Amino acid sequence: MGKMFSIVVVLIALLSAVPILRHTWTPPVDISTHGHAIDEQMSETMAEAGLSFLAAQIILALFVWKFSGRREDEKVSHFPGGAKVMVIAAVLLVGSEVLALGIVGQRAWASVYFTPPAPNALQIQTQAGQFAFYFRYPGPDGKFGPLHPDKIDEGMQNFFGLDPDSDPDSKDDIVTAELAIPVNREVHLLMHAKDLGHSFYVRELRIQQDFVPGLDLSVHFTATQTGRFEIVCTQLCGLGHYNMRAFLSVLSQDDFDKWLKQKASEQ
């Protein structure tokens, strides 16, 4: 039984490692300026976690193989160094490793959260509500008109509850169902929750941030590649949560300008 256990453990450990080593399922290509730090952090952690995982499973298998099925009259012995070695190993190896991960990792975190958006970042507002994302561009005046929750009329495409008749700032606001942004230009995304908690997640951008009702949250990022990417909700928000998505279109500056003009004409 002991031999079987050991073989099973080693097989499982090795088979588990295969998809990792072969990069079968990996995060999609990173299209952000801050993402490489996250990806590096992930690789580093994978190496350390992977080694710890393999080492522990193999040692477990080895010891069970060697020390099970022994005769009753054999004597027990103890690992040289005893618990002291384990404590020192844990503190030194693991302690230093996690400290390093933590200290280096905070730089990746800081680049997303502790640096303010550039003053000329393109400001776009996004609203999350059961079960869709909508986006608002401030228009030529560069200002967002106020939101009136009681004026929301989704059937007439007034998702944000704008009142252009009373609020001049709303007159040129452009509301879209798609988030288009110019490539290589920093975007400052203001996040508004219409009804309850949601989250904004674009895997390729390495961005994930919850919408919290009542809080003015935002994220900022720069996309470095054009293309069409999914924005999905990752905070359980009700029956349509699995179907709550929008698309991010990263366009050249020219294409973006054309797109924005087209959307302005559709308001």
Partner 1 sequence: MKTQYKLAALASVVLLVAFGVLYSGKSVNASPSGQITGTVKLDGQAPKQKVIDMSKEPSCAQIHAGSPVTTEAVIAGANGGLKNVVVYISEGLSPADAAQVPAQSNQINQKGCQYLPHVVAVDTNQKVEVVNSDSTSHNIHPMPKPGGPNHEWNKSQPPGAPPFQEAFGTEEVAIPVKCNVHPWMRGYIAVVKGPYGVSDGDGNFTISNVSPGNYTLTAWQETYGTQTQKVTVAAGKPTAVNFVFKAK
Partner 2 sequence: MPEASAHAAQHHAPPQSFLRKHIFSVDHKVIGKQYYGLALVAVFTGMVLSWLMRVHLVWPNSPIPGLHWLSKVGAPGNVMTPEYYLSLMTMHGTLMVFFVLTNAPFAAFGNYFLPIQIGAEDMAFPRFNMMSFWVTFIAFCVLFSAFFVPGGPPISGWTAYAPLSAVGPDAGPGQGLGQTLWGVSIFLFCIASLLGALNFIATTLDLRAKGMTLMRMPLCTWAWFITACIALLAFAVLMPACLLLILDRIAGTSFFIPSNLVVGDKLQPHSGGSPLLWQHLFWFFGHPEVYIAILPAMGIVSHILINSMRKPLLSFKVVIYCMMAIGFLSYMVWGHHMFVSGMNPFSSLMFSFPTLMITIPATILTLIWLGSLYGSKLRLTAASLFALGFISMFVSGGVSGFFLAQPSIDIYLHATYFVVGHFHMVMGVAALFGVFAGTYFWFPKMSGRMMNEGLGKLHFLLTFVGTYCIFMPFHYLGMAGNVRRYAAFTDDFLVPLVPVHKFITIAALVTGAAQLIFFYNLIYSRFRGKPAPANPWQATSLEWSVPSPPPWDNFGGKHPVVYHDPYQYGVKSSTGDYLMQDSPETAAGD
Residues 199-238 contacting partner 2, CB under 8 A? 199, 201, 203, 206-215, 217, 230, 232-238
Starting at the edge strand found earlier in the chain, the sheet holding 245-251 runs: 179-182, 245-251, 227-232, 198-202, 207-211
Which of 14, 29, 36, 63 lies at the binding interface for partner 2 (CB under 8 A)? 63
The listed partner (partner 2, partner 1, none) that binds 77, CB under 5 to 8 Å by sort, is partner 2
Q: Is 170 in the site for partner 2 (CB under 8 A)?
A: no
- For residues 131 and 240, the answer to whether their CB atoms sit within 8 Å is yes
Rule CB under 8 A: say whether 28 interacts with partner 2: yes
Please tell me the distance from the alpha carbon of residue 196 to that of residue 194, in angstroms, as a whole number.
6
Contacts with 227 (C-beta within 8 Å, 6 or more apart), sequence order: 31, 204, 249, 250
Rounded CA-CA distance 195/159 in Å is 12
Cα dihedral across residues 114, 118, 124, 125: positive or negative: positive
**Cα 251 from Cα 39, distance rounded (Å):** 24
Does residue number 157 form part of the binding site for partner 1 (CB under 8 A)? yes
Least separation in angstroms between CB 165 and partner 2: 20
Does 260 bind partner 2 (CB under 8 A)? Our answer is: no
Give the position of tokens 């099970």. Answer: 68
**Contact with partner 1 (CB under 8 A) among 6, 57, 126, 176:** 176
Residues between 109 and 168 with contacts to partner 2, criterion CB under 8 A? 109, 112-114, 129-130, 149-150, 152, 154, 161
Position 180 contacts partner 1 (CB under 8 A): no
Residue of 28, 81, 146, 240 that binds partner 1 (CB under 8 A): 240
